[in-house]
Structure 1
């Protein structure tokens, strides 16, 4: 009733149950506050995050170059910025198709035939 009476917009933070509204409120606050100028250390970092392009974000790697038998993909160590960007886009598309088909269905590139 309160939502209707005050003209609030109801939103969902996901398909799961929480023990109280406090956790959901923190999630919403974080999602909003991080968009304010000066909140993120590097304002440009938000431009490449999940959902900004309609895709999930590509995998992230750090040092060491090999950890527990897993290696950073060679392309990321190549210094070839064009190849790195192409790899990141392909990985983002692959992850979105696998993990969020609902997002992939709305992504314009999903409707274009692959060459």
Structure 2
């Protein structure tokens, strides 16, 4: 269940990262409210995952999920660079997440 919580925390991290852009520096009310709610939920699910998972692993996977998702949505929603080298390094983050999942024992 801890990995599921961590995955959900990562999805909410993507949500709040995109929300930071959409809220325009917290100057737009409803995007700001949504961003803050997503932050709270992200940290809540991360905390639940940390009950079982090692801190370093959980934090690295959480930020990795957030980074990958944010880059993909940045490309799709905001027309950010699709440079092959950029996508290659995102792939390396994904490989790192998979490696941590495979090599981390859970209690």
Q: TM-score, with normalisation over the residues of structure 1?
A: 0.29
Structure with bigger helix share is 2
Largest Rg, 1 or 2? 1
Q: TM-score, with normalisation over the residues of structure 2?
A: 0.31
